[in-house]
Amino acid sequence: MFNSYKFRIYPTAEQEVLINKTFGCTRFVFNHSLELKKEAYANDQKVPTKIDLINLLPSLKKEYLWLKEVDSTALQAVNVDLDDAYKRFFKKQNKFPCFKAKHSSRKSYRSVNNNNSIRLAKNKIRLPKLGFIKARIHRKVKGTIQSATISQTPTGKYYVSVLTKNVQFKSLEPNENQVGLDLGLNHFLISSTGKKIANPKFLKNPLEKLAFEQRALSRKKRFSKNWHKQKEKISKLHEKIKNQRKDFLHKLSRSLIENNDLIVVETLKVANMLKNNKLSQAISDVSWSKFVEFLTYKAKRFERKLIKIDQWFPSSKTCNNCQHKLKNLKLNIRRWKCPECGASHDRDINAAKNILVEGKRMLALT
């Protein structure tokens, strides 16, 4: 099994220059290779594969000598990643790869571990071309190191994400607990046990401050020194919100995985829901997709069962007591009484109970 470990690194001034050079070189190779693929496809010629593109690198280095200054495995990895993204587009798994902009806030490159070129020591990590870099190693790295991805945040911080394989995780003891989860906006999560987890709304509180800082940015000359200072202030606010949200989702998903053998959730089409202009900001802030993603990989890692039911399953409109289904139930109705058996329902708790029942039914069929 694969696993990744992310650490903050503190490069020296020289190492920082080389890292930024590598960002630029990998961006150049990516754009160059993408142009070759697009031209070949437009002219009905054979589209170059990742091997073809990697074999072009030596001649490209002769033409552009500055490509020799950076890690060669990073340039090769760019072509591997581009080829993968290109194939995924034709499988309808993602959008067509686009050219990388010079001033993009997303800066990263991946180095491959060849001949133990990537290794960890106490409070430092060795990376190709860079040598040992000071790092905050806060976790023990298990498994064989495959690669390391070096990235820079919009606030100027540097991180390295180490990918390892053959990682063995300690299995959790079975507890026979089962839970259905209904995700919402008023409450982030409602479980079939009746527990409600409040929506933290990390974006709502600093929204006014963000708007103020954005207006201040709009008044400054683009790319001036003060413009960059103001942009960094805004980036720090966004980074804090992102870290708070991620911390909340990790802790909640881990708690659910540890305490339940079976977890059942709805399949949500978040992309379609974001088309609602009135709710799009709240839906983005709550980050349901990321939460389900965390649940998915943690369930696989610790051998728990995670069931995703059909998005059209009428969990809210069905009585969990007698299975009577209402023809219509408006969104503003939070409590309702079953006309068949007379049971009174909290809309969200009732939905969570029905989700669990449906999940157990699907599990029995497998």
**Phi and psi of 253, rounded to 5°?**
-65, -40
Annotated active-site residue 208? The verdict is no
Which structure tokens are listed for 177? 């607990």
CB proximity list for 273: less than 8 A, separation 6 or greater: 279, 280, 283
* 3 sits in which H/E element: strand 3-10
336-345, Cβ contacts within 8 angstroms, sequence gap of 24 or more: 343/319, 345/319, 345/320
- Kindly name the residue from 182, 213, 293, 303 that is annotated as catalytic: 182
- Residue of 176, 266, 285, 310 with catalytic role: 266
Calculated CA dihedral for residues 228, 234, 238, 240, nearest 10 degrees: 100
**SS3 of 271, please?**
helix
For 270, counting Cβ atoms within 10 Å of its Cβ (0-12 exposed, 13-18 middle, 19+ buried), the class is: middle
∠ Cα 184 190 191 (to 5°): 145
Catalytic status, residue 266: yes
Please say whether the beta carbons of 193 and 182 come within 8 A. Answer: no
**Whether 348 is catalytic:** yes
Is residue 18 within 8 A of residue 127, CB to CB? The reply is no
Give me the catalytic one of 39, 285, 303, 348: 348
Spatial CA neighbour of 310 closest among 257, 366, 362: 362
The stretches of the chain forming alpha helices (DSSP H) are 13-42, 50-55, 57-63, 72-90, 207-218, 225-259, 270-273, 280-286, 288-301, 347-365
**Residue numbers annotated as active site:** 182, 266, 348
